[in-house]
Amino acid sequence: MALLTHGGQLAQIAKQFGIEQSQWLDLSTGIAPYHYPIGDIPLSAYQQLPQINDELISAAANYYGHESLANTNGSQAVIKLLPSLWRDKSPHSTIVYLPKNGYKEHQQAWQQAQFTIRLYDDELPPLARLNEYCVLVIINPNNPTAKLFTKQEILIYQQHIASLNGLLVVDEAFMDIITPSQSMISSIDDSNTIILRSFGKFFGLAGIRVGFVLANRHWIAALTDSLGPWQVNGPAQFIAAQALSDNAWHTNQRKRLSQDTHAMVEMLQSTLNKNTLHRITHTDLFITIHLNQSQLAPQLFESLCQHAIYVRLCDDKKSLRFGITTAKQRTILGQVLTLIG
């Protein structure tokens, strides 16, 4: 199985460029630069096997606005599991529609399960092109393009896929910062729709590996049974329950991420060469710069790494994705971009 290249591989990059890991500014992920504060964690969370945490389930149900959910060790386990579960449920299904530019673990999982992959660009595939029993995967907003489909747009596809006895998978890993929310969570009852939500990105705690899957009760039961017990460790469950319930922190986090994003976009627009920059797209958790010529992105990636700044060279090799910076980090990045021209 081939390993995909992701951001967040700082140890490998630091070794490659011969610069001590502590010297780097890591902007290679879409993880918030501010994390939810971790207070005292009960010793029992470490000593006992992690049971179903009613406080966490209640907090998640309130935060996401739906009770039919399961907490998982991030989204990755569900992404890997879905193709086999869907094949068991729908043995005639063979075709999966996926975004050409997006989180590639989705594509790899369906390919390994020997489904036929059909890629779409920035717009969803025409309704008339969808096949019976097909799967449509939507990353909303998309990473790294930042493309956002409205809930009304996706509802049309949900209804059409239901008529085809197909499956709709919506990865909403970055939905927490979309206002007003375009989440499909309120429309999953009695449907073959599965929603994936990330905890670590918005709350800045990707290392504790918490995620949630929301679907109708049939799907939640099937996923829970297949994933097995002890998906999320006890300390992580305790932290997530506190974080999901802290509405004041949510409001402040969205405010400062929005302010930093706008300031960073302005800095990039004023600093980057106008002849090489095609456009900038963004959410409040990452910014992607699209360059005019294909060789420019790898060159800029290399130059930034030589100055100990690690960003994400996107799969298309024509764009770079930056995590959102604090004011201090933004100053450092701006100085280096000015220096390398």
Rounded CA-CA distance 240/204 in Å is 11
Q: Find the DSSP H helices in the chain.
A: 10-17, 43-47, 54-64, 76-89, 104-112, 151-163, 200-203, 217-227, 234-245, 247-271, 296-306, 327-340
Specify whether 226 is located in the same domain as 290. no
Tell me if 194 is assigned to some domain.
yes
From 245, 272, 305, the end of a domain falls on 245
From 245, 271, 300, the end of a domain falls on 245
Specify whether 191 is located in the same domain as 333. no
Rounded CA-CA distance 5/8 in Å is 10
Specify whether 233 is located in the same domain as 288. no
Question: Residue 182 phi/psi, 5° resolution?
Answer: -110, 25
Neighbour count for residue 328 (Cβ, 10 Å): 10
Tell me if 35 is assigned to some domain.
no
- pLDDT in single tens digits along all 341 residues of the chain: 444 567 779 999 999 999 999 999 999 999 999 999 999 999 999 999 998 889 999 999 999 999 999 999 999 989 999 999 999 999 999 999 999 999 999 999 999 999 999 999 999 999 999 999 999 999 999 999 999 999 999 999 999 999 999 999 999 999 999 999 999 999 999 889 999 999 999 999 999 999 999 999 999 999 999 998 889 999 999 999 999 999 999 999 999 999 999 999 999 999 998 888 899 999 999 999 999 887 899 999 999 999 999 999 998 899 999 999 999 999 999 999 999 97
From 218, 245, 272, the end of a domain falls on 245
141 Rama sector, left if φ>0, alpha if ψ -120 to 50, beta otherwise: beta
Nearest to 136 by CA among 158, 108, 105, 151: 158
Neighbour count for residue 294 (Cβ, 10 Å): 11
Burial group, residue 334, by CB count within 10 angstroms (0-12, 13-18, 19+): middle
Tell me if 159 is assigned to some domain.
yes
Tell me if 171 is assigned to some domain.
yes
Pairing between strand 319-323 and 69-72? unpaired
Helices 296-306, 10-17: inter-axial angle, 10-degree rounding:
80
DSSP state letter for 131 = P
Tell me if 72 is assigned to some domain.
yes
Specify whether 154 is located in the same domain as 193. yes
Report yes or no: 216 and 189 within 8 Å, Cβ to Cβ: yes
